[in-house]
């Protein structure tokens, strides 16, 4: 469960849903010039926008 103070950022560009934590973290770093450990949660969608993945940092670990 996401803490109520977490900032959720929707990544508009479609993502390959086969990507894991490392691949999605690399997308955040390359496209947004941000670190995935800054405390925000990032939502990724697939090409058809019928699936989402959310990457967030919780208790010093990344969660997908």
How many structural domains comprise the chain? 1
User: Is the overall model pTM greater than 0.85, yes or no?
Assistant: no
Contacts of 53 (CB under 8 A, 6+ apart): 15, 17, 19, 24, 43, 44, 64
Q: What element of type H or E holds 45? A: strand 41-45
Range(s) of the domain holding residue 42:
8-63
Q: Is the pLDDT of residue 4 over 90?
A: no
Examine residue 14 and state whether it is found in any structural domain, yes or no.
yes
Whole-angstrom Cα distance, residue 27 to residue 29? 5
Examine residue 2 and state whether it is found in any structural domain, yes or no.
no
Examine residue 1 and state whether it is found in any structural domain, yes or no.
no
pLDDT digits 0-9 by tens, 6-52: 688 888 889 999 999 899 999 988 888 888 777 788 999 999 999 99
Examine residue 13 and state whether it is found in any structural domain, yes or no.
yes
Examine residue 3 and state whether it is found in any structural domain, yes or no.
no
């Amino acid at each position: 469960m996401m803490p109520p103070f977490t900032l959720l950022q929707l990544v508009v560009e479609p993502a390959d849903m086969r990507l894991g934590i490392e691949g999605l973290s690399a997308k955040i770093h390359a496209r947004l010039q941000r670190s995935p450990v800054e405390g925000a949660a990032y939502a990724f969608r697939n090409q058809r926008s019928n699936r989402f993945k959310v990457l967030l940092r919780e208790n010093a670990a990344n969660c997908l």
